[in-house]
Structure 1
Amino acid sequence: MEVVIAAPDELAGLAADAIEQLLAAKPTAVLGLATGSSPLGIYDELVRRYEAGRLSFAQARGFTLDEYVGLPADHPESYRNVIDREIVSRVDFAPGAVRGPDGLAADVVTSCAEYEAAIVAAGGVDLQILGIGSDGHIGFNEPGSSLASRTRIKTLTEQTRGDNARFFGGDIDLVPRHCLTQGLATIMSARHVVLIATGYAKAEAVHHLVEGSVSAMWPGTVLQHHPHVSVLVDPAAAGRLQLADYFRSTYAAKPEWQGL
């Protein structure tokens, strides 16, 4: 696990560098796309590079992490619509190249199994973008989630619903109680995970993620067992890290050719 502490715009640039290099080497790459506030800077930077002619998503595919259950298909906070608004419609993904869990499926169990199969059929995710919740969740894998879990339905905690109420006009009652999410084992199957977190509200979760014990109570800690994880945090989100100075010195001494 590599930890990089830098300003948010620099972090977004580093993540975009990794994706640009991946697409140059493998134009058919499969990307894992996260919603929420954390990845927005990455998407904006990717759009700038696309508009500058530096990269193309024309042959790439994507899978989103999660989806609310029961939101109408045209709801602006449906994650299918959010990811389309923030990245897919702004670059040259082919129609249908980005897929998400079906929050309106009549048979949730079958739909989740089909989503898992689609990821496998695509060759697996090459690079997964992640954020992390203040309670340590990744995707919508809330505390207590099985470390071996796959795509399934989950009940959101009141903390997560409260955190997400800002997207629903501040009204927690409008935030769905259920979601579909890739499981922790699904996320762990990605070949490279790039997790970005900013702000002091994420500091406790980042501390457990990087320096704590692996535990279902802090689901993101499962990433300690992943062979290629890049944790990108600003100084505020790094505020609880006991090894912050070590991470800074390690990154400062990193060979330029190595990348994330």
Structure 2
Amino acid sequence: MEVVVVSTPEEAARVAADAYSVLLRDTPSAVLGFATGSTPLPLYRELIRRHREEGLSFARARAFLLDEYVGLPAGHPERYREFIRGELEQHVDFAADAIVGPGDLDVAPLDAGPAYEQRIRAAGGIDLQILGIGSDGHLAFNMPMSSLASRTRLKTLTPRTRQDNARFFDGDIDQVPTHCLTQGLATILDSRHAIMLGFGRGKAQAVREAVEGPLSSRWPASVLQLHPHATVVVDDDAASQLAFAEYYRTTYAGKPAGQGL
């Protein structure tokens, strides 16, 4: 695991976007993994800028989403598929139907997990997966105590999670779905390169536990310690509890030119 500490989310976005630029230059048909939520937004804005100003192309790429609510109709503004459409897809040059979410398959929710796993395998696996970390250490909808060996599956949302997400549903918890589909932690480990972003002091404990704590289902993001090519990119606030923050800064600053993430 490589840890990169930068000053701001915007600087983190540039660091992560460099990995996309290199991958898509070398492998235009790469398979990407996208996360939703506020954390990856600076990255998506930077990718849009590079597409418009530098010619970064997604025309031959494909992408898979980490998770999706169950029960929201197609086109609902809070579907994660709509989030990616509005925040990234419609601003760049993805081909039609190049992006797929676990709720897009024409199967029952209980069958969607295995079907999604098969779809990812058929695409050759995910080359670059972007992740955000929750303040409790969750990845996607893999909440604390999720199995480290989990695969894409149907999950029941806890009352706390539904209450936290009610702000997106006019503050009404009754509008928040009770179930979701999510890639599992083992699914995430299958990606060839995983980049986890974390910003703000509210993420500091989770980042510390994920990076320097023991491997534990209590902190699901700690599973990235097992990933053969994981990169954690955090701002100064999110890195504020890391015991080895200066070591991470020094080693990143001293990387040979052109090595990349």
Please report the TM-score for the alignment, with normalisation by the length of structure 2. 0.95
2: CA distance, partners of 1:163 / 1:3: 28
Counterpart mapping for 1:107-118 below 5 A: 107-118=108-119
Counterpart mapping for 1:37-48 below 5 A: 37-48=38-49
Matched, 1:133 2:143: no
Equivalent position of 2:125 in the other structure: 124
Secondary structure of the 1:232 match is: strand
- What residue identity is the alignment partner of 1:5? V
Equivalent position of 2:62 in the other structure: 61
Aligned Cα root-mean-square deviation (Å): 1.5
Matched, 1:241 2:232: no
Unaligned runs of 5+ in 1: none
Q: 1:210 to 1:155 in 2, by over 3 A?
A: same
Equivalent position of 1:251 in the other structure: 252
Equivalent position of 1:211 in the other structure: 212
Matched, 1:3 2:6: no
2: CA distance, partners of 1:207 / 1:22: 29
Q: 1:103 to 1:61 in 2, by over 3 A?
A: closer
Paired residues, number: 260
Give the Å deviation of 1:164. 2.6
Q: Which piece of structure 1 moves more, 178-187 or 250-259?
A: 250-259
Equivalent position of 1:195 in the other structure: 196
2: CA distance, partners of 1:229 / 1:104: 29
Q: 1:126 to 1:62 in 2, by over 3 A?
A: same
1: CA distance, partners of 2:219 / 2:160: 14
Equivalent position of 1:147 in the other structure: 148
2: CA distance, partners of 1:204 / 1:168: 28
8 Å contact from structure 1 (residues 31, 126) kept in 2: yes
8 Å contact from structure 1 (residues 8, 198) kept in 2: yes
Give the Å deviation of 1:146. 0.9
2: CA distance, partners of 1:83 / 1:102: 13
2: CA distance, partners of 1:165 / 1:133: 16
Give the Å deviation of 1:103. 7.1
8 Å contact from structure 1 (residues 207, 238) kept in 2: yes
- 1:136-192 Cα distance to aligned partner (Å, 9 max, x none): 110110111111111101122344334333322343343222110001110000000
- What residue identity is the alignment partner of 1:58? A
Equivalent position of 1:157 in the other structure: 158
2: CA distance, partners of 1:72 / 1:104: 13
Give the Å deviation of 1:105. 6.0
Q: 1:162 to 1:248 in 2, by over 3 A?
A: farther
8 Å contact from structure 2 (residues 70, 109) kept in 1: no
2: CA distance, partners of 1:170 / 1:3: 36
- 1:75-124 Cα distance to aligned partner (Å, 9 max, x none): 10101111111111111000000000117966222222111100000000
8 Å contact from structure 1 (residues 133, 160) kept in 2: no
- 1:203-254 Cα distance to aligned partner (Å, 9 max, x none): 1110110011111111111110001111011111111111111111111211
1: CA distance, partners of 2:60 / 2:194: 21
Give the Å deviation of 1:202. 0.8
- 1:23-71 Cα distance to aligned partner (Å, 9 max, x none): 0000000000000000001000000110114310000000000001111
Unaligned runs of 5+ in 2: none
Q: Which piece of structure 1 moves more, 4-13 or 162-171?
A: 162-171
Please report the TM-score for the alignment, with normalisation by the length of structure 1. 0.96
Equivalent position of 1:14 in the other structure: 15
Q: 1:104 to 1:186 in 2, by over 3 A?
A: closer
Equivalent position of 1:174 in the other structure: 175
